């Protein structure tokens, strides 16, 4: 019998189809590439910090979009789900 004593929160995940999952994956792959470019720009101070901050805000909004496409209410729920239920 499974041990559920370490569960600290209840997460309700909306059922998603393959199409939504692929869209979310595509968004996250694009964001990964953008983050690499933003990191390079920030390290070399090519753009002012305020512009880099705005770019990061846009990244956060797209992450939220991918999370919702994945069926979760927010990124914290998704992170908790992945950390605690990845072996199911």
Angle, vertex CA 29, rays to CA 25 and CA 86, nearest 5: 50
Q: What is the pLDDT of residues 40-79, one digit of tens each?
A: 999 999 999 999 999 999 999 999 999 999 888 888 888 8
Listed in sequence order, the residues at least 6 apart from 42 whose beta carbon sits closer than 8 Å to its beta carbon are: 49, 52
Residues 44 and 36: beta-carbon distance below 8 Å: no
Q: In terms of pTM, does the model score above 0.85?
A: no
Q: Where are the domains of the chain?
A: 18-85
């Amino acid at each position: 019998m499974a041990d559920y004593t370490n569960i600290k929160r209840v997460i309700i995940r909306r059922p998603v189809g393959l199409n939504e999952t692929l869209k979310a994956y595509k968004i996250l792959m694009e964001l990964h590439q953008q983050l690499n470019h933003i990191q390079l720009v920030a390290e070399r101070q090519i753009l002012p910090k305020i512009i880099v901050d705005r770019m990061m805000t846009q990244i956060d909004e797209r992450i939220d979009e991918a999370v919702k496409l994945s069926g979760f209410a927010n990124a914290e729920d998704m992170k908790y789900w992945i950390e605690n239920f990845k072996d199911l």
